Amino acid sequence: MQRVRRLLSRRSVRRSDGMFVAEGAKVLQVALELGAEVESVYLAPEATGAVVALAEAAHQQGARVFDLGPGVLERVAGTVSPQPLLAVVRTPAASTDVLHHARFVVVCVDVRDPGNAGTLVRSAAAAGADAVVCAAGTADPFNPKTVRASAGAVLRLPVLQDLEADVALEMLGAAGLRRVGAVPAGGHRYGEVDWVAPCAVVLGNEAAGLDPRILALLDDTVTIPMARQVDSLNVSMAGTVLCFEVARQRSNLRAMDRTRAAGGQQGYGVPGAEREMRPW
Is 133 a binding residue for a second copy by CB under 8 A? The answer is: no
The pairing of strands 64-67 and 178-182 is unpaired
Residue closer to a second copy by CB (options 96, 251) is: 251
What's the rounded Cα separation, in Å, for the pair 201 and 253?
A: 19
Is 22 a binding residue for a second copy by CB under 8 A? The answer is: no
Is 33 a binding residue for a second copy by CB under 8 A? The answer is: yes
Specify the stretch interacting with a second copy by CB under 8 A; choose among 82-90, 123-131, 134-142, 177-185.
123-131
Is 182 a binding residue for a second copy by CB under 8 A? The answer is: no
Listed as own residue / partner, the contacts of 2-8 with beta carbons closer than 8 Å and 24 or more positions apart are 3/88, 4/42, 4/76, 4/86, 4/88, 5/76, 7/88, 8/76, 8/77, 8/78, 8/144
In whole angstroms, how close is the CB of 149 to a second copy at the nearest point?
9
What's the rounded Cα separation, in Å, for the pair 99 and 79?
A: 36
In whole angstroms, how close is the CB of 215 to a second copy at the nearest point?
23
Q: Which member of 14, 148, 156, 260 binds a second copy (CB under 8 A)?
A: 156
Is 128 a binding residue for a second copy by CB under 8 A? The answer is: yes
The pairing of strands 19-23 and 85-90 is antiparallel
Residue closer to a second copy by CB (options 230, 273) is: 230
Cβ contacts of residue 217 below 8 Å, gap of 6+? 166, 169, 170, 173, 179
Is 143 a binding residue for a second copy by CB under 8 A? The answer is: no
What's the rounded Cα separation, in Å, for the pair 109 and 98?
A: 19
The pairing of strands 85-90 and 38-43 is antiparallel
Is 208 a binding residue for a second copy by CB under 8 A? The answer is: no
Residue closer to a second copy by CB (options 21, 125) is: 125
Binding map of a second copy across residues 211-250, x = CB under 8 A, - = no contact: -------------xxxxxxx--xx-xx--xx--xx-xx--
Is 110 a binding residue for a second copy by CB under 8 A? The answer is: no
Give Cα separations from 166 to 141, 153, 172, 216 (angstroms): 19, 25, 10, 10
Binding footprint of a second copy on the chain (CB under 8 A): 33, 119, 122-123, 125-128, 151, 153, 156-157, 189-192, 224-230, 233-234, 236-237, 240-241, 244-245, 247-248, 251-252, 255
